[in-house]
Amino acid sequence: MDLEGVIPNQPIKKDSWKTVLILAYQSLGVVYGDLSTSPLYVYKSAFAEDIKHSETNEEIYGVLSFVFWTLTLVPLFKYVFIVLRADDNGEGGTFALYSLLCRHARVNALPNCQLADEELSEYTKHGIESDKGSIGWRLKSTLEKYRVLQKLLLVLALIGTCMVIGDGVLTPAISVFSAVSGVELSMSNEHHRYVEVPVTCIILVFLFALQHYGTHRVGFLFAPVVITWLLCISAIGVYNIFHWNPHVYQALSPYYMYKFLKKTQRGGWMSLGGILLCITGSEAMFADLGHFSQLSIKIAFTCMVYPSLILAYMGQAAYLSKHHVIESHYQIGFYVSVPEKIRWPVLAIAILAAVVGSQAIITGTFSIIKQCSALGCFPRVKIVHTSSKIHGQIYIPEINWILMLLCLAVTIGFRDTKRMGNAAGLAVITVMLVTSCLMSLVIVLCWHRSVFLAICFIFFFGSVEALYFSASLIKFREGAWVPIALSFIFLIVMYIWHYGTLKKYEFDVQNKVPINWLLSLGPRLGIVRVKGIGLIHTELVSGIPAIFSHFVTNLPAFHQVLVFLCIKSVPVPHVRPNERFLVGRVGPKEYRLYRCIARYGYRDVQKDDNEFEKDLVCSIAEFIRSERRANDEGTEDVENDGYMTVVGSSSSNLVGIRMCEDDGNVGEMVGTSELREIRSPKKLRKRVRFVLPKSPQIDRDAREELRELMDAREAGMAFIMGHSYVRAKKGSSLMKRVVINLGYDFLRRNFREPTFALSLPYASTLEVGMVYHV
């Protein structure tokens, strides 16, 4: 479940305690579902084959000690106390850290960045700039100087993202399978294997099939399910502690970790791959930060999740310390420590909790793929918003069915928790390692703290995570190859798409038409200007795209108003509505050529076509109205191609021009002051009016230009899209030809058109084909 109900303009820090506690309650169902179900499979994975449970209890105490200190050091100390502070205007996750670094060190992978983007409210760089000559300043300069380091930083962020996607495959499989495995205590060894896998597959298919409907209808049940589960496992843990071994708390001493490794040696080291599953889902605390607040997530973890998990693990250890020979084939598992009378109700709650935890990671996967696509690092996919009120709840059909097939393949292929745990463990610990590496750079470049502090951070937490990473990687042939294979495939797809997109943009920049060519054509551009608005979609933020010259040289007519539209992403989570558009002219006023740049953050949602068209026309009208005032104030020449004005969307611009569109008779408009409204005098299918503010005086030229814009809007809007065929130029290396001619071309043909084109009316859309030799 992915919530984005938090409005960026209203920081959570100012909320009341009541709001914070409500957010903490909601976060239990969204953030902690995966982490809360880890007791289902941690002990079973740790004791799978590497170590045996002996009568000395050194193994079970050692595992408990490792679990306790791992939960304390990683989720509590690392995430709650440190990483949660590295938010990007309230947003968290791998891309939030990468976005922070992009802004502070100018290592942005987006090609069409502008200086105007740095004036966005959320682009603000917090902290004191490092002094020239300091280690932090030299590190920043080195990153900005060498393209190789910038690419390595991007690859590092993509590796973390790919492992999150791999986790989206493995977590539902192991969570649901472990929850269902409790049925084997009530069945014979011959029958339970015929029940576990089919039941798990049915639940997984049901879970993925429901994604299309969204979770907002049942989302209110998530928090109660997880709370019930946490209370259940903590109560069982307390019962087992007092009933079986009240002295189990002694195992929390780090001394038992030393005894454990000394006795088990290599087997104990390899069992760490199962122990690390106790922190699976910890990354969700940071990734879902934008949906809640730092304080609410900290309260939920420290007051509810952390104590419940510790009690649950201590209770299992207390039970196992008195049961060394277990008659059931189930051996070391969660359900053996559950009293037999309540085993079936606990099984039902466990399955519900596993579904909630799986739902969180699935929707989180949708969210991070949307972010990758917005930043040009993933092919365009169809994004369906399943809730009209909470726009963060999204559904991506292609990714959903791919995840389901992979999840079923893992379940049917492995059929046991051991190999699933090995696979999930490697994915989890790799994401945490990537976060630690990026976080160490954030400490120096964004927080401007000493390099010594960053080294201490990466050395301490990186050492703990590297230990677990080595224990997971050694089990490559026993399941750990799955996240590596999945991540490698997704990484290749992401990098090919990013490389092809970058080369295509470079071709556009190198082949854009000079402004002198446009001026030589005259105001009518050497062709017939027909009524209407021609909207030319381009990736360029300056200059005239080659698609325009390609079009006008083949067709003898064009629209009376031309708009070069660029829809681009900026390295911030959200762009405020009052900073949405950059509007300027291309050429002199009489040409009626405009450039409009619509800016979106990597977590923003684009409006539908009708709202977007209205905002676009209003932004141009507001630019025309404010242009005269800019000239009066002595600003630079607004007729050049470089001057751009920031204009908000119509909903945010309360004091600017508003546009009214309705169907009706022109006669109904009589009686309205000409000074207050400029309207088209002709009776057309759609009536368009510009409602002006009370105070400003509009000169004759601006009034005439606004009238022409209204006439053009009433006549209709045509959308001119470029249909590119990208090919590697002659003399390119074999690798480049394979990447561009095969890889990028395959992705471009089989994935979606630009988001801007998805909701456009086909009758008003014209595609212009061009071959790009990159």
Report percent pLDDT > 70 for the chain. 80
For residue 529, report the phi and psi dihedrals to the nearest 5 degrees: -100, 115
Q: Would strands 528-537 and 717-727 be described as parallel, antiparallel, or unpaired?
A: parallel
pLDDT of 171 strictly over 60:
yes
Q: Residues 476-504, buried b or exposed e (16+ Cβ, 10 A)?
A: eebbbbbbbebbeebbebbbbbbbbbebb
The band of 761, judged by pLDDT with boundaries at 50, 70 and 90, is low
CA distance linking residue 172 with residue 297, whole number of Å: 23
**Beta strands 677-679 and 687-691, pairing class:** antiparallel
3-state secondary structure 189-221: HHHHHHHHHHHHHHHHHHHHHHHHHCCCCCHHH
- Rounded to whole angstroms, how far apart are CA atoms 472 and 270? 7
Burial class (CB in 10 A: 0-12, 13-18, 19+), 376: buried
**Average pLDDT over every residue of 401-429:** 90
What DSSP character marks residue 591?
Answer: G
Q: Tokens in use for 496?
A: 């090919």
596 beta partners:
565, 583
pLDDT bin (cut points 50, 70, 90) of residue 696 is low
Please tell me the least confidently modeled range out of 658-662, 722-726, 729-733. Answer: 658-662
Q: How far apart are CA 313 and CA 304, in angstroms?
A: 15
Note the pLDDT of residue 685. Answer: 52
Tally Cβ neighbours within 10 Å of residue 186: 14
Residue 316, pLDDT > 60, answer yes
Q: What is the mean pLDDT of residues 437-466?
A: 91
| Residue 128 predicted with pLDDT over 60 | no
DSSP string computed for 714-767: HH-EEEEEEEEEEEPPTT--HHHHIIIIIIIHHHHHHSPPPHHHHTS-GGGEEE
Q: Which residues of 719-743 are buried (b: 16+ CB within 10 A; e: fewer)?
A: bbbbebebbbeeebeeeeeebbeeb
Dig out the tokens for 542 from the structure. 């300056």
Q: Over 70: is that where the pLDDT of 508 sits?
A: yes
Which residues lie closer than 8 Å to 700 by C-beta, 6 or more apart?
none
User: Does residue 21 contact residue 300 with C-beta atoms inside 8 Å?
Assistant: no
749 compared with 246, residue with greater pLDDT: 246
The predicted pLDDT at position 11 comes to 41
The arithmetic mean of pLDDT across residues 432-449, rounded, is 91
What is the mean pLDDT of the segment spanning 211-238? Answer: 84
Alpha-carbon gap, residue 79 to 515, rounded angstroms: 52
- The pLDDT-based confidence of 41 (bands split at 50, 70, 90) is confident
Q: Which of 112-121, 254-263, 506-515 has the lowest mean pLDDT?
A: 112-121
What pLDDT, on the 0 to 100 scale, is given for residue 212? 79
pLDDT of residue 652: 60
Residue 682 token pair = 């002709």
Most confident of 8-17, 192-201, 575-584: 575-584
Contact assessment for residue 586 and residue 561, using Cβ atoms and an 8 Å cutoff: no
Residue type, 682: K
Determine the Cα–Cα distance for residues 759 and 205; give it in Å rounded to an integer.
Answer: 30
| pLDDT over 50 (residue 612) | yes
Cα–Cα nearest to 159, from 410, 429, 379 = 429
Mean pLDDT for the chain overall: 80
- In this structure, of 156-165, 266-275, 583-592, 662-671, the range with the lowest mean pLDDT score is 662-671
Q: Show contacts of 342-350: CB within 8 Å, 24+ apart.
A: 343/182, 343/185, 343/186, 346/182, 346/232, 346/236, 347/179, 347/182, 347/183, 349/225, 349/228, 349/229, 349/232, 350/37, 350/40, 350/179, 350/182, 350/229
Chain segment 533-552, per-residue pLDDT in tens: 888 888 888 888 888 877 77
Banded model confidence at residue 434, pLDDT cuts 50, 70, 90: very high
Tell me which H or E stretch contains 690.
strand 687-691
Q: How large a percentage of the chain has pLDDT more than 90?
A: 22
Q: Give every CB contact of residue 133 below 8 A, 6+ residues apart in sequence.
A: none
pLDDT > 50? residue 309 = yes
Give the pTM. 0.83
Report the alpha-carbon distance of residue 40 to residue 278 in Å, rounded.
Answer: 10
Residue-level pLDDT at 388 = 61
Angle (CA) 393 396 402, round 5°? 130
**Rounded-to-integer distance, Cα 323 and Cα 329, Å:** 14
Whether residue 41 contacts residue 174, with contact meaning beta carbons closer than 8 Å, is answered with yes
pLDDT tens digits for range 466-506: 999 999 998 888 888 999 999 999 999 999 999 998 888 88
Q: Between 674 and 659, where is the model more confident? A: 659
- Say what the pLDDT of residue 426 is: 92
Q: Taking residues 574-584, what's their average pLDDT?
A: 87
Task: Tell me the three state secondary structure of residue 229.
Answer: helix
